[in-house]
A and B are shown apart, each in its own frame.
Chain A
Amino acid sequence: MSASVFSPLLAEIGAEMRQSIRAPEFLIPTIALPVIFYLMFGVMLARGGTEGSTYLLATYGIFAVMGPALFGFGAGVAAEREKGWLRIKRVSPAPATGYIVAKLTSTLVFSCLALMPIYLSAGLLANVALPTQVWLVLLASHLLAAIPFSLLGLSIGFSFGSGGAVAVANLCFLGLAVLGGLWFPVMLFPGFLKTIATALPSFHLAEISLDIVNADSARPVARHLSVVAVTTLALAALAVWRWISQR
């Protein structure tokens, strides 16, 4: 019954995570970097009130899920494609979705591992206090943010060789983080950078999380949600197109 349906999927997820753990050169930076940054900017430099720490908790949470998504999918898929693993997968009877679901699960697990130290730093070191439901909704918003980034990573993985994919993933990683206002609040940006920020999914995802923690003024959440929805669909279309182009 259900076990027989899920056991191949679980096996694939297990294999996927084992593989990631065996490649710590991706894992360690993606988990450690966000919390180190948050400790520097969100805890040490944001003393004197929890406002700054709360704000950056929302944005660094988005930053934290970008790493596993972009590198796990981007670099990972590219490498496996180069090794011919994807071609084997395509001729194997196991559905291709299993491969994606396994990667996504693994991404979410590592996202949690990247998020928790940030939450703990915010709560225990920077005294950020939120109602229980807000912590949970914030976590959900951060984890859901992994989906559009995973789709972007997937497109990168399908489009570039393993070396190129790492470079492009890095470019997206830093570009989306800095220009989307995840490292420094967008309100500190000069006018033209603000315009660039509004074109990036990272900005809109961060705004949704900021609304959840109720940072400063009211935000047009519906607009941010629709931008995110449209972007996610576009990235999904891009990923499907790149997947089909493999043949």
Chain B
Amino acid sequence: MHQRFALTVITTTFILCAIVIALLPKSVTESSSLSSETLDGNSWLIKDATVYDGENWLGVTNIVVKNGVITAIGKDVDDDTMTVIDASDKVIIPGLIDAHTHTYGPAREDAQRFGVTTMLDMFTAPAMLSQTRADREASGRKQGATLFSAGMLATAAGGHGTQYGIPIDVLSDPSQAEQWVADRVAEGSDFIKLVYIPESNRINSIDLETAKAVIDAAHRAGLLAVAHIDTQQAASDLLSVGVDGLVHIFADSEVTDAFITEALARNIFVIPTLSVIAVVDGQAPGKMLLEDERIASALTTAGSASLNTDFGGRIPGFELQTALSNVRRLADAGVPILAGSDAPNPGTAHGATLHQELMLLSQAGLSNETILHAATGLAATRFPIGQHGLLSVGAPADLLILTEDPRDDLTATRGIETMLRNGYVTSRAVPVINASNIVLPATLADFDNGIEAPDNFIWSETSDSMMGGQSSATLTSLAQGADASAGALAVDANVSADFAFPWAGAFFGMTTNNGAASLGSHDTIEFWTRGSAGRYRLMVFGKEQMGAPPTLEFDVTDAWTKVQLDLTALENLDRGNVTGFAFVTPMRAGQYTFAIDEIRLTRAP
């Protein structure tokens, strides 16, 4: 009697739970924590998928993945000991390769969310190379795309590449080339990238002799040499001295038959980066990308903000129509075209823009099959990246399971149902950063009791020395504050001219690495300041912010003055994810002494 009662109660409870769970509203988006946790492991039998292996369409095929590596692929391969992923009615393509990127901050993580599993970086800080090289061979779960990189670029003093604040080993003479390339090899560069824009009247360039010397030295070291050019003439010059590939298409003139013949004879490839040319040409392609929910849902706030920006005006010599027709004619002639985004330039975002580039290649007239090859297997035939971009035996199991066939609709590459990285089902969810638990207090600092900051925040010195510059700053406490208050913060700064964008000053930032705070209802920052006269800058830092921080300027004089700055003027500020404020000197070299006090956030009436 007790038994039956127990069974009845347990069964009823079970059924009740099942009914309740069935009744509960379900969200459509998969939870990020779940997709990677419930499908654990890196060994699978993927059955009945329509497979593109990076070179050929294989029809309905099975793929065996063991410990993250593809061990068999074919119509009849089978292994009944393995967990099956049923991919019937699905299309599998290799993880995408973005053949032109610049890697800063969360670039690799951002790209991976869009199915980009390999990035060919065309210039980044050399420090990035050692960090990512170890990750390249690692067999575990991957947090971001696998990186192959040129590292430092070959450019002239004051040339393209020197404007980003990374110290550059510039070239002025062909005799430096051998050592220069040796230094890149030592740093771990996978290939050599040079900038050759001799016709530019805005910035300096290395000359053709130096370019040739760098290309020759690269080839002697067994490395590929690829080049940034801006005109057909520059491209022709480099063809004649043996460049292996162009990392942009020129858009200043229609490509000539002579150029096409020479390009074929020299067996070069081209990474057109039509997306960034479209931005320069004022087409705002990023804004269109944002309208696709499949893209928007995987973008961070910073990524969306970046897609909405541009270069601040059109630059002559970059006509999208010319670029499109040049790409078409080169492709028709048989010059290999690779897909690259040039993210994170204005108007682009890592990962997202590669999908844009595929569409622009389609607009240029390339077939969907050719474009898929351009974004996968073709790169592996040109760059020393092993089997990345290919689904073949021995390749890492980096693949995308798509719900639709990209041969019919190229945007199907955005509809990734499941992504495997090293065989692991890998989340494509945007990391949740919710700063609403910390709201910045109205009073950031009054310095009445020394250099104090509210909970979770700290004051520190900041200068370009963190990027390799020579400037420095010292913070001290003043007894007398502004507006008859008790104390103030004094900054002694020594700004050195050794850096492209020098700065020194005081930084108000969070004590944790991954924290962020919200501005709450505040929209104005006000403070008192005095010191060495000049136009100073307030920089606002945000979580996942890319590129230069949003900056407001203010004038400092010898007398205490109250400054009020409108934070809503900062277009790219993510007000929910602020990580700090920097009060820094003018950009000119020199000695500065300044004080700040009574820093408050307010709301404009």
Contact = CB atoms under 8 A, between A and B. Distances in A.
B514 interface: yes
B2 A214 contact: no
Given A11-B2, A112-B13, A131 B437 contact: no
A131 B31 contact: yes
B12 to A, nearest CB: 9
Interface string A138-180: 0100000000000000000000000000000000000000000
A139 B24 contact: no
A10 interface: yes
A46 interface: no
B6 A112 contact: no
Interface residues of B, number: 34
A133 interface: yes
A17 B4 CA distance: 12
A171 B199 CA distance: 81
A7 B1 CA distance: 10
Nearest to B516: A217
A120 B23 contact: yes
Interface stretch (B14-22, B188-196, B380-388, B444-452): B14-22
Contact of A217 (B5, B23, B24, B437): B437
A193 to B, nearest CB: 14
B34 interface: yes
A123 B23 contact: yes
B25 A128 contact: yes
Contact of A132 (B4, B20, B21, B514): B21
Interface in B32-58: 32-34, 38
B6 A218 contact: no
Contacts, number: 107
Contacts of B182: none
B26 A132 contact: yes
Nearest to A109: B13
Contact of B24 (A10, A123, A191): A123
A3 to B, nearest CB: 9
Contact of A214 (B3, B13, B31, B437): B31
A189 to B, nearest CB: 11
Contacts of B34: 131, 133-134, 137
Contacts of A183: none
Contact of B434 (A18, A137, A185, A217): A217
B432 interface: yes
B433 interface: yes
B2 A12 contact: yes
Given A129-B27, A191-B455, A18 B2 contact: yes
Contact of B33 (A112, A129, A139, A212): A212
Most chain A C-beta atoms within 10 Å of own C-beta, residue among B2, B17, B23? B2
B169 interface: no
Nearest to B22: A132
A207 to B, nearest CB: 13
Contacts of A10: 2-3, 6-7
B431 interface: yes
B9 interface: yes
A112 B12 CA distance: 11
B84 interface: no
B29 interface: yes
A14 B17 contact: no
Contact of B21 (A11, A14, A135, A185): A135
8 contacts: A14-B6, A109-B13, A123-B25, A124-B25, A129-B25, A211-B33, A217-B434, A218-B514
Interface of B: 1-7, 9-10, 13, 16-17, 20-21, 23-27, 29-34, 38, 431-434, 436-437, 455, 514
